[in-house]
Structure 1
Amino acid sequence: MKQQAGQPVMVDCFWHAQVRPTDFILACGDGNSRLTSLRWSQWHPDSAVAEGFNVVNDCKPYCAAGKFHSYPVIVRLNAPQPWKKHPDLSHYTQLSLVYINGKPDGFGQWVDLPLWN
């Protein structure tokens, strides 16, 4: 989706600006965690909210042999700041996941992650 004036973006692993993406990689190094089927209910100057799935590799017995599991989540973006690559654009710097039904081993029900700059 095209960015509208004053609208923050998400910066992906390839330093591309994304607005209301349907999919988003969280683990850029190996792709073992990503968001899929995102449905955005809000995309405001200070925050954004979506529902979707966090697809995570269990890495058992090791990541190459692991299986991917899908967990329903609520995604919240906040803390917009000027983007270093394009200072005229604002980008969300914080992502929060709330697991609705089940969660990956070792994860809390609520997870906060920094986003790329």
Structure 2
Amino acid sequence: MFSERQIARLLDIGNLACQKGLVAHARTIFDGVLALKPNFAPALVGLAFTHVVVDDFDGAQSILDKVLAANPEDSDALAVSGLSHMLAGRRDEAEQTFARIPQDSAAADMARAVMEMD
């Protein structure tokens, strides 16, 4: 079994792989974490982001909807959801989603930066 620290490291590696364009590798890592911890929100959010980076916004939203159904206040899921909406050209939905992020969270800073894009 993996420790929480090892799981966190796997998530970091998955996110880095995604950022470097290694989407298939990132998905494999996130799927592996989900095999160990089904419905683990950080892994689901990472998996959703792998869909955002390849413009599969509906695929991302489907995953994020599951996370937000379980925890409507998940700041990371809200941030990626808002980003997905924004990149898909759904600015109104992005604004509504970003408005749900607690203003004292790091995700709120990202949301403000994304909304300033245009």
With a CA cutoff of 8 Å and minimum separation of 6, indicate the structure with the bigger relative contact order: 1
Quick check: which has more Rg, 1 or 2? Answer: 1
Give the structure-2-normalised TM-score: 0.25
Give the structure-1-normalised TM-score: 0.26
Tell me which protein shows more strand as a share of its residues. 1
